[in-house]
Amino acid sequence: MKTIKRMMEHQLWANRELLSGVRESGKDNREALKLLRHIAVAEQVWITRLSGESSGKLQLWTDDAELASLTELIASNESRYAAFMDGLTEERLDDIVTYANQSGTVFHTSIRDILTHVALHGQYHRGQINRVLREASGEPKALDFILYARLS
């Protein structure tokens, strides 16, 4: 349980750091914003499913990302995940969540596997955003877990 909680705390910290990096770049980098939006909406999708609600109305990929709306969505996700994690026990980690993906296909997945996926999925795309920032002469953000561990 402690490891999953640390992974989720890192994920939320890394999102804030990367949002700051995109903001600091001072550029309207559409690719970085699109990827950051994808991370935020994917996290919204999963917390919605973990809450027993349908995520069918949420679009994972669009080209209309704006920094202000992403800031709000990331803050909302952080609040929702924090509340979910506060109420989660070791015994519930292997509970099965039944949900439909964006195409309507039904799946059954443990809470443990969903949270692990959320943490790893975000890490992949944050790396892509850092590459985009570097290519646009921006400053990539250091987001490794070990840095988070040293700071916390």
Annotated binding site for a divalent metal cation: 38, 121, 125
The annotated binding site is made up of: 38, 121, 125
3-class secondary structure for the chain? CHHHHHHHHHHHHHHHHHHHHHHHCCCCCHHHHHHHHHHHHHHHHHHHHHCCCCCCCCCCCCCCCCHHHHHHHHHHHHHHHHHHHHCCCHHHCCCEEEEECCCCCEEEEEHHHHHHHHHHHHHHHHHHHHHHHHHCCCCCCCCCHHHHHHHC
Neighbours of 146 (CB within 10 A): 9
What the block records as the tokens of 56 is 């069918």
